[in-house]
Amino acid sequence: MEIQLDFVSAETLARKGSAEKISFILDKIKRNIIVVLEEALEPQEEAELIEATMREIDAEEFHGIEFYRIDSRAKGLREKIAEYIAGRRHGITIVGPTRLIEAIKREPDYISMLAKVDIPQEEKKKKEGK
Amino acid sequence: MLSELKKSLRKLLKIFKRKKQIQLGFYGPVNAGKTTLANRISLDWLGKEVGTVSEVPHETRHVQKIENIVVTTNNGELKMNIVDMPGIATQVDYKSFKAFGMSEEEAKARAREATKGVIEAIKWLDNVDAVLVVLDSTQDPYTQVNVTIIGNLEARGIPMIIVANKIDLPEANPDSIANAFPQHVVVPISAATGENIEKLYEAIQEHLT
């Protein structure tokens, strides 16, 4: 069984508005891809992501997401202004479908992600159009 | 940047305008005890319970409003409306409800209602004056749902108290919640037994009005 991880650069994300970003992420998640974003999502974007996820949940195919933001954003006002001007939010965000990600847990020195592989082959082939 | 400005403006307005009656939202993950706390407060001051409590996740699937509660503490009188929100979650799998004896149809219907409840709770963020973030002190506080709820309240400049609930349980560790969110006031309570509830009323009066 394969697990696909897509890494999305900060430059790519900077070109997208919030709504476009959320739909870009969810589109991948619904195709059973784990996404690693090279930026920390804003709290409002996280709320939008949860809201959009709830709208997409259906009984058979999609039960939701697991995500985790590792934030290394600027704390001081000067740094925040510089970050705002540069259009860059330091950190990363990992998002994946619950059927693949069992848990994402914060340990003292690292973040641990436990993935599982239980997608039936027939379903995977159907999604890939084979 | 915009959220910083919004937060500062809210603080400034608060200095000039102290609300006589606050709209107090209860936010938190699923099964943290939000409705148990709403019932406790309602029972204490209105003499009646308002919501159903159970071990089945997503028992509260609609926003429940309890109006015109007048709380009296050593510091005076506090008038508030409580808005008990459905628990915030990032996933809803109908199969998890079947484990509690529901039929497939009942479980699917509950899942549909639960997803709508989460959306409703998020929409309500724009309509509350202050929030109690209710967390289960027997659970790991470092979850993304907790971080997202608190981050959204901070970004909107909404004052909050974190309630470390379920301290009556032997495995409770309210210190872990205080350590996870040191920038906020944390009040350990048991909504089920009423332990420390007076301290919560005093904290609401001191920090949220």
ipTM, interface predicted TM-score of the complex: 0.86
- How many domains does the structure of chain B reveal? 1
State the Cα–Cα distance between residues B154 and B156, nearest whole angstrom: 5
Q: Tokens for B186? A: 């944390």
In a domain, B69, yes or no: yes
B144-168 per-position pLDDT tens digit: 999 999 999 999 999 999 999 999 9
In a domain, B187, yes or no: yes
Mean pLDDT, to the nearest integer, of B107-129?
94
Q: From chain A, pick out residues whose CB is under 8 angstroms from the CB of B94.
A: 59
The pLDDT score that the predictor gives to residue B99 is 86
A93–chain B Cβ distance below 8 A for any pair: no
Distance from CA of A35 to the nearest CA of B (A): 16
B85–chain A Cβ distance below 8 A for any pair: no
In a domain, B2, yes or no: no
In a domain, B168, yes or no: yes
Distance from CA of A83 to the nearest CA of B (A): 10
CB contact under 8 A, A59 and B94: yes
In a domain, B166, yes or no: yes
Instruction: Give the confidence band of B35 by pLDDT, cuts at 50, 70, 90.
Output: very high
The pLDDT score that the predictor gives to residue A30 is 95
The pLDDT score that the predictor gives to residue A105 is 83
The pLDDT score that the predictor gives to residue A92 is 92
In a domain, B13, yes or no: no
The pLDDT score that the predictor gives to residue B182 is 95
Q: From chain A, pick out residues whose CB is under 8 angstroms from the CB of B93.
A: 63-64, 98
* pLDDT over 80 at B143, yes or no: yes
In a domain, B14, yes or no: no
The pLDDT score that the predictor gives to residue B102 is 86
Closest by CA position to A106, among listed B175, B165, B141, B151: B141
Q: In this prediction, what percent of chain A has a pLDDT beyond 90? A: 54
In a domain, B9, yes or no: no
Q: From chain B, pick out residues whose CB is under 8 angstroms from the CB of A54.
A: 92, 115-116, 118-119
CATH number at residue B142: 3.40.50.300
A8-66 per-position pLDDT tens digit: 999 999 999 999 999 999 999 999 999 999 999 999 999 999 999 999 999 888 999 99
Q: Which of A43, A64, A81 has its CB closest to that of B90?
A: A64
More confident residue, A129 or B80: B80
Mean pLDDT, to the nearest integer, of A85-93?
73
Q: Chain B residue closest to A85 (CA)?
A: B1
Domain region containing B26: 21-207
The pLDDT score that the predictor gives to residue B136 is 98
A87–chain B Cβ distance below 8 A for any pair: no
